[in-house]
Amino acid sequence: MSEDKIKAIQSSKKVREFYREQNELITELLDPAESREGAQEQEERNQVKLKIAIYGSVGVNVCLFLLQLYAAISSKSLALFATMADSFMDLLSGVILMYAARASTKSNWFKYPSGKSRMETAGTIVFASLMATVSLQLIIESVRALMDSDKQPPMPSPLAIAFVGFALVSKLGLFIYCRAISQYNAANILAIDHRNDLVVNGFGLFASLMSRLCWWLDPAGAIVVALIILRSWVWTAYEQMQLIVGKTADPAFLKKLTYIALTHHRKILQVDTCTAYHAGNNLFVEVDVVMAPETPLRESHDISESLQIKLESLANVERAFVHVDYETSHAPEHRKLK
Complete domains list, the chain, with CATH: 1-30 (no CATH), 36-245 (1.20.1510.10), 251-325 (3.30.70.1350)
One-character DSSP codes across 52-106:
HHHHHHHHHHHHHHHHHHHHHHHHT-HHHHHHHHHHHHHHHHHHHHHHHHHHHHS
101 neighbors 118 (Cβ within 8 angstroms): no
Most confident range (mean pLDDT) of 8-22, 175-189, 192-206, 273-287 is: 273-287
| Segment 89-103, tens digit of pLDDT | 667 766 766 676 666
pLDDT in tens, 52-62: 777 777 777 77
Q: SS3 for 278?
A: strand
Cα 81 to Cα 172, 195, 215, 220, 223: the distances in Å are 20, 19, 16, 13, 11
**Separation CA 314–CA 256 (nearest Å):** 10
Give the residue with greater pLDDT, 283 vs 114: 283
pLDDT in tens, 266-315: 999 999 889 999 988 889 999 999 999 999 999 999 999 999 999 998 87
Of 174, 172, 166, 168, which Cα lies nearest the Cα of 190?
174
**What amino acid occupies position 23?**
N
Q: In this predicted model, which residue has the larger pLDDT, 123 or 258? A: 258
- Identify the band that residue 333 occupies on the pLDDT scale cut at 50, 70 and 90: low
pLDDT of residue 45: 59
Q: For residue 277, give the 3-state DSSP assignment.
A: strand
CA separation for the pair 51, 55 (Å, rounded): 6
Of 311 and 155, the one with more pLDDT: 311
Q: Provide the strand spans (E) within 73-207.
A: none
Cα separation, 283 vs 242, whole angstroms: 13
> Mean pLDDT, to the nearest integer, of 125-154?
74
Q: What are phi and psi of 289, to 5 degrees?
A: -110, 155
Q: What is residue 325's DSSP assignment? A: E
CA 25, CA 28: separation in Å to the nearest integer?
5
Order of all β-strands in the sheet with 282-290: 270-279, 282-290, 317-325
309 and 299 Cβ atoms separated by less than 8 Å: no
Contact, 239 vs 258, CB < 8 A?
A: no
Question: How much is the pTM?
Answer: 0.64
**Rounded (10°) CA dihedral 249, 252, 257, 261:** 150
pLDDT of residue 35: 47
Average pLDDT over residues 208-218: 71
Instruction: Judge contact between 324 and 304, C-beta under 8 A.
Output: yes
- Rounded distance, CA 134 to CA 140, Å? 10
The answer to whether the CB of 143 falls within 8 A of the CB of 135 is no
How high does pLDDT run on average in the chain? 77
- The CA distance from 209 to 130, in Å, is 28
> What is residue 277's predicted lDDT score, i.e. its pLDDT?
92
